[in-house]
Amino acid sequence: MPVQASVKGEACRSAVEGMQATMARANGVQVSGVESFNPADLGYAPRDRTLGYTFSLVADSDTVNLLNSPVTMCNYAQQVADGCHSVAMVTFWLDSEEGGWGETYGVDEGDTMFKFNCIGSGSPEARQNPLPWGSVICG
């Protein structure tokens, strides 16, 4: 399972590869791609953590089951953040014929991962720029 060039630094590469291996072994879920981004580009400015990752997941029933397990997903995100201390947020994305589905997790002030709140695209909160840390537009 290769890690794309967007994963910078040996510690981050090791954290990402370790999480992918655990996810495959424990849940049968494969990662088809990894992209990095700067959360500040989305309007977020979380302290000294300037890195986010989006993991594209292979669509199958194992992946759907995993995405329906927020505690397990949060643990995977925490595993990446623990090994790569510049990580502020992690998104797991499933792209299927029925449409996309993602879950986003981020680091709080105590460096503990938590699941972001989903804000509907038509809600007044969705017009905030930037969104509050811990919120993501969906639906």
Taking alpha carbons only, the member of 1, 61, 54 closest to residue 25 is 1
| C-alpha to C-alpha distance for 33 and 56, rounded to whole angstroms | 5
Provide the mean pLDDT of the chain.
87
- Which tens digits make up the pLDDT trace of 90-125? 999 997 776 788 899 999 888 899 999 999 888 888
Beta pairing, strands 135-138 & 117-120:
parallel
Q: How much of the chain exceeds pLDDT 70, in percent?
A: 90
pLDDT the model gives residue 73: 96
pTM of the model: 0.88
Whether 61 shows a pLDDT value over 50: the answer reads yes
Instruction: Spell out the domain ranges in the chain.
Output: 10-138
Question: Prior bond to 132 cis, omega within 30?
Answer: no
Tokens for 62, please give them.
């194992």
Report the helix count and the strand count for the chain, using DSSP H and E: 3, 7
